[in-house]
Amino acid sequence: MPCQFQGKFKSERPLGVYMAGASPEDSEPLFVLEPLPELPSVIDSFFGANPLLLVAGFGSIIYLLTKYEDPFTKLWTSTLVFSGLSFFVTDSMFYSMIFASIHILAFFMVWSAIRWDDVKLTLGIDRARILSISSFIVCTWIMTILGTAIGMPTTSGVVVCGLAMAYVWWTYYSLEPSTS
């Protein structure tokens, strides 16, 4: 343990030991998603939890979703209860936040489906826009497949093909006269 003494540091271990550990086996994992292969056993911990706790937790989430009128109040209260429940059951903040993210995604998908007419009006979604976005995705996929066939790496190929198709898409929309 280093300690300061008259402007100099005295150390019991060499400096390299403090960086990442004495060996690769002793150091902390640098990749934050390493615990994900354990996800099925963590999901099984929900089924192994006390059923009364799960019924009370999910019942309070449903109560909070139906009690408030404001959708964001519904979101933060139900997410807070769900995060606490999943942390208590899994005993892991990492998995609790993954489950909270899934809860938030599901909330917004259901909320958007319920208010689909408002979403379509606000985003200007019509058949031409849906066709345009789907053709952008399909063309990017085709270009990625062709790029992979000529030896382009897949990850950077998706980025390059996506940027190329975005340029073509932007050029078409900026040169095409608007019809409305």
**Cβ-Cβ contacts under 8 Å for 100 (sequence gap 6 or more):** 79, 82, 83, 86
Q: How much is the pTM?
A: 0.56
Phi-psi region of 70 (alpha: psi -120 to 50; beta: other; left: phi over 0): beta
The pLDDT of residue 127 is 85
Query: According to DSSP H, which parts of 21-150 are helical?
Result: 39-47, 51-67, 71-90, 93-114, 116-123, 127-149
Give the tokens for residue 63: 């109560």
The pLDDT of residue 179 is 58
Provide the residue ranges of all domains of the chain, joining segments of one domain with +.
46-120, 126-173
For the chain, which ranges sit under pLDDT 70? 1-37, 176-180
The pLDDT of residue 173 is 75
